[in-house]
Structure 1
Amino acid sequence: MGTLTRIKFYINLISLVFSMITNSTLILLVITNSPPKLGNYRHLMCYFSMISILLAIFDFLVQAYIVSDASFIIVMDLENSVFENHPTIAHVVLGCVTALFEAAIFVISISFVFRYFALQRQGRLRYFAGKLLCLWMAAPFVLGGIGMTIMMQLGPDKLTTERLRRDMKEIYDLDIDKTAYVGSFYFSIDEYGNKCWNIKAVSITMIIYTMMGFPLFAIFYFGIKSYKIIRGLVSQGESEYSRRLQTQLYKALVAQVLWIYETVPKNDFQTLIPLFFLFIPIVVSLGAPFFGLTLELTGLIVGTLPTLYPVLDPTPIIFLVDDYRNAFLNFFRRIFSKNEVTSVTHYEPNMDSISP
């Protein structure tokens, strides 16, 4: 095991452990300390945390390396692993990581749709009730499965294997014959120095970009519209409690995705979590080869930063929502015999709940 491989293994192991802790903590807080007005939004938060846990588990199993030299290829080392004699199963597990990544993006966009409907107070939350809620939860896995199927069309082939052999050995000390991978080179150079594009690889990459674009558009669209509604809650006669709860939930949701000007305080580092740990590494790795950029360290960086995302993602909700933050900190206050903080809840019989 090379030095880079060893470092990557321990980073993935630590990330897996802490991802289980942070996401399980959030699930427990949602179940035991959710404000009464949250309604079905509790199910979505637990659902998202479970996807993050699954993503962390599969990411640990894969230990992905990203090759971004005229290509976008995800490589899984099989040597001395349980998958060494089962490359077909390893190929499917590798595909599951891409599916869970896309599913996570779709779940975030669904959360923004829910928050917008809740803020509208026009009865549209009925679309998130009963069987319809199950359909919303199933959709990310269906769409992620479609993305996985498309990506796996770029499976191993002899030409790609031979092009990878030297670099994988020199950079990561990996034997390409003992790996599984998905992806392909975008282009090759012929004997005359001309760039020959791999139409299949480029087309599939564009499809993946498009699939990511739809949920990102929904996040921006519903996020901006929700922010405008929240700014007018007090002027519309909403109580301070309702306004504060809606604002906390919205800030936590935005902090899980990306930074939007004036939505979250500028010194809130949590707004940078998905921007630097998820979107930028993947976009750079996918796009850099189109511009002739070779990023030798991309395989380590991109393979590591998204690994940390499931660990950090639950923290905005835990610390930005008063009920969860107080319950979390009170646990440690009890251990050290400190005074506990109690969340004050105002029941408003004339106000609609945000749940159906």
Structure 2
Amino acid sequence: MKKWIDIIQSIAAIFSILLNVVLIILIIKKSPKELGTYKYLLLFIAWFEIFYSLLDVILSPIAFSHDSIFLMIVSVKNSIFSKDVLFLLDSIFCAFFGVSMGMFAVNFIYRFFVATGSERLKSFKGAWIICWLMIPCIYGGIWGLLCYSVLGPTVEINEQIRTDILLIFDWSVEDITYLGPYVYQKQHNGSYIIDINSIIAIFIAFGIIVSSLIAIFYCGIKCYMNLEILMPDNKSNRFKNLQSQLFFALVTQTLIPVILLHLPISLIFIFTLMEKNLGSLSAIVSVTIALFPMLDPLPTIFIVKSYREAIFIFEKWFSHPQEDVNAPQMRHDVKD
């Protein structure tokens, strides 16, 4: 199983990097002027997903659930990095979970400000946009530091997972590093002790998820309701249509990590609190985590018309290099 997960993670990382590089080029070269400072938010997402994919293929992390234990495991065998370095990288990888939650929340807030013509849109201009970009970094920093400081390897977890890790992955606990909560710690006399650090960590993770989803759903619903009604009358149809395209691209782009990343991890946290043993089934999350940055650029590339047309022009040129693809009919008129 581990072999197939490694293959999927490697293929997904390659396509993720290629697609996000293409998106970065399109944002820089083909963005309509009406896009404004939103292009910096799109660039932030694309660069984030490139680094996410690189770290994913370097670590090849495996999600593992055993009773009230949920871990992100990294093998130290055949790695050029020491166990301490891999543990730090594993913590950073988990921090990216928090970054992604804050990242899409900020994007929905921006779209809401645009759709309603809010004066607060000015806070995204100039150096002020750095303050907004710090929000996902703070989300990620909180979760990453928490993982690194209180959710690392312990003797108790080693003893609980030793047999399963050997049977499922053919690893010894000395061959891995990991981080994650162990909620109900079994004692030698058969009793259990609730680990407060694990409980706190899980509820902080849920807090990050819930706060982000509240912002996404509130701004998303308000944006949809007001996109046509409150859009300033002095704006052109071109501007309004572009904002509609960007909104629906963002909705689709956000559904991908929610379905592939946040929902599976949230469910595993719930099963962990319920002390339900998922075993090797939890490794499926490792695949969905790898697929997320590969699929996420596609909505922006194919829903935003100026980017879509640029891709089609390149495809025509590649298929028929002798033809003139710069025909007059290929105007970047955003009316779809």
Report the TM-score when normalising by structure 2: 0.91
Change (3 A) 1:343 1:105: farther
The structural deviation recorded for 1:274 is: 2.6
Which secondary structure state, in structure 2, belongs to the residue aligned with residue 345 of structure 1? coil
1:221 is matched with 218
2:276 is matched with 293
- Aligned counterparts of 1:167 and 1:185: Cα–Cα separation in 2: 15
Which secondary structure state, in structure 1, belongs to the residue aligned with residue 180 of structure 2? strand
Change (3 A) 1:129 1:238: closer
Code of the aligned partner of 1:87: K
Select the structure that is richer in helix: 2
1:68 matched to 2:51: no
Q: C-alpha offsets along residues 61-118 of structure 1, whole Å, 9 cap, x if unaligned?
A: 11111121221111100101112xx211111100010111211221111111111112
- Aligned counterparts of 2:72 and 2:80: Cα–Cα separation in 1: 19
| 1:10 counterpart (2, 7, 11) | 7
1:267 is matched with none
| 1:345 counterpart (311, 333, 336) | 333
The structural deviation recorded for 1:192 is: 6.8
2:108 is matched with 112
| Contact 1:189-1:196 at 8 Å conserved across structures | yes
1:202 matched to 2:199: yes
Which secondary structure state, in structure 1, belongs to the residue aligned with residue 181 of structure 2? strand
Q: C-alpha offsets along residues 226-262 of structure 1, whole Å, 9 cap, x if unaligned?
A: 111114268957543233211110000000112xxxx
- Aligned counterparts of 2:44 and 2:123: Cα–Cα separation in 1: 17
| 2:141 counterpart (116, 141, 145) | 145
Which secondary structure state, in structure 2, belongs to the residue aligned with residue 257 of structure 1? helix
Structure 1 residue runs of 5 or longer lacking an equivalent are 259-272, 347-356
Which secondary structure state, in structure 2, belongs to the residue aligned with residue 66 of structure 1? strand
How many residues end up aligned between the 2 structures? 328
- Aligned counterparts of 1:343 and 1:283: Cα–Cα separation in 2: 45
Alignment of 1:77-92 (within 5 A): 77-83=75-81, 86-92=82-88
1:163 matched to 2:163: no
- Aligned counterparts of 1:64 and 1:216: Cα–Cα separation in 2: 26
- Percent identity, aligned pairs only, is 28
1:240 matched to 2:237: yes
Which secondary structure state, in structure 2, belongs to the residue aligned with residue 342 of structure 1? coil
Code of the aligned partner of 1:201: S
Code of the aligned partner of 1:177: E
The structural deviation recorded for 1:184 is: 3.0
Code of the aligned partner of 2:172: D
- Aligned counterparts of 2:117 and 2:76: Cα–Cα separation in 1: 52
1:327 matched to 2:323: no
Structure 2 residue runs of 5 or longer lacking an equivalent are none
- Aligned counterparts of 1:158 and 1:48: Cα–Cα separation in 2: 38
The structural deviation recorded for 1:307 is: 0.8
Alignment of 1:267-286 (within 5 A): 273-286=256-269
The structural deviation recorded for 1:181 is: 0.7
State the superposition RMSD in angstroms.
Answer: 2.1
The structural deviation recorded for 1:37 is: 0.4
| Contact 2:101-2:208 at 8 Å conserved across structures | no
2:176 is matched with 179
Which secondary structure state, in structure 1, belongs to the residue aligned with residue 73 of structure 2? strand
